[in-house]
């Protein structure tokens, strides 16, 4: 389950192709329809995906040149750009999504090996540039689900689902608001412990189902709790 940026580019290409195939069928009513994200239409999600790709291009450029280029001009500009673009035609949204993905791929190709070791400033704090391809892959896969157009967490490739689950669980380990639990996936062969093990419930399911629940893309109805009882409430994900 590598996060090596160059080894992830093939997975990102495949994920982007799946996303574009879904969007290819959208008409005006489809892009105006509600997404799974409260207050956002599918047009909002697609515009966000395009602008986040451009924001990641800014960070790759910062890593490559050493210039302090922010991901977005400001938080307000980010929101304004998404709102301004959400109501565009399906063709405009598709073109923007495709061209922004191409710009991101070109920026990755332009990165010299040593630039991947740079640290860049994201909206959530400093990040190693080497994680930016993973960040884009995560955006594409999770927001593809958010389009509510037939692509589900169960459709995530297994390697992606396990990578996402480990990332989210690692973040929970540092969050004092996260409930204690044992996450068991892939049958009974793999477990991730969050918090104190003593008395913690065991939550069992596939890696995709566990990850989707932890990031708020599922109510967890397919998961099993041992001993019996309600699922704990996951801490908020980024």
161-175 per-position pLDDT tens digit:
999 999 999 888 778
Assess whether pLDDT exceeds 90 at residue 177: no
| Confidence label for 206 from pLDDT (cuts 50, 70 and 90) | very high
Assess whether pLDDT exceeds 90 at residue 126: yes
Block residue for tokens 């995530």: 156
Dihedral (CA of 4, 6, 9, 10) sign: negative
Give the E-state strand segments of the chain in sequence order.
119-122, 125-128, 181-185, 190-194, 202-204, 224-226
Structure confidence at residue 43 (pLDDT): 98
Assess whether pLDDT exceeds 60 at residue 1: no
What residue ranges of the chain are covered by domains with CATH 1.20.120.450? 5-151
Dihedral (CA of 210, 213, 217, 221) sign: positive
Higher pLDDT, residue 179 or 26? 26
* CATH class assigned to 158-226: alpha beta
Structure confidence at residue 41 (pLDDT): 98
**Pairing mode, if any, of strands 119-122 and 125-128?**
antiparallel
Assess whether pLDDT exceeds 90 at residue 85: yes
Mean pLDDT score across all residues of the chain = 94
Rg (CA), the chain: 19
| Confidence label for 197 from pLDDT (cuts 50, 70 and 90) | confident
Structure confidence at residue 188 (pLDDT): 65
Average pLDDT of span 26-38: 98
**How many CB atoms are located within 10 Å of the residue 105 CB?**
18
Superfamily in which the 5-151 domain is placed by CATH: dinb family like domain (1.20.120.450)
What residue ranges of the chain are covered by domains with CATH 3.30.1050.20? 158-226
Average pLDDT of span 23-40: 98
The least confident of 91-105, 146-160, 164-178, 184-198 is 184-198
Structure confidence at residue 2 (pLDDT): 59
Structure confidence at residue 238 (pLDDT): 74
Structure confidence at residue 50 (pLDDT): 98
The least confident of 56-60, 89-93, 179-183 is 179-183
Average pLDDT of span 109-122: 96
Phi, psi at residue 50, to the nearest 5°? -70, -45
Structure confidence at residue 46 (pLDDT): 98
């Amino acid at each position: 389950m590598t996060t090596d940026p160059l080894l992830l580019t093939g997975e990102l290409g495949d994920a982007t192709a799946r996303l574009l195939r879904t969007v290819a069928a959208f008409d005006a009513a489809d892009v105006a329809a509600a997404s799974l994200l409260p207050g956002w239409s599918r047009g909002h999600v697609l515009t966000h995906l395009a602008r986040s790709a451009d924001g990641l291009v800014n960070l790759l450029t910062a890593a490559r040149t050493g210039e302090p280029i922010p991901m977005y001009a400001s938080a307000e500009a980010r929101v304004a750009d998404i709102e301004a673009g959400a109501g565009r035609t399906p063709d405009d949204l598709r073109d923007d999504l495709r061209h922004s993905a191409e710009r991101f791929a070109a920026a990755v190709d332009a990165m010299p090996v040593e630039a991947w070791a740079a640290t860049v400033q994201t909206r959530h704090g400093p990040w190693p540039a080497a994680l930016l391809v993973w960040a884009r892959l995560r955006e594409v896969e999770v927001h593809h689900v958010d389009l509510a157009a037939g692509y589900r967490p169960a459709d995530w490739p297994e390697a992606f689902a396990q990578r996402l689950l480990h990332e989210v669980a690692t973040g929970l380990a540092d969050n004092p608001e996260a409930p204690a639990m044992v996450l068991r996936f892939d049958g009974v062969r793999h477990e991730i412990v969050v918090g104190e093990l003593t008395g913690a419930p065991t939550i069992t399911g596939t890696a995709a189902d566990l990850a989707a629940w932890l990031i708020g893309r599922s109510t967890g109805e397919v998961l099993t709790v041992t001993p019996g009882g309600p699922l704990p409430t996951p801490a908020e994900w980024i």
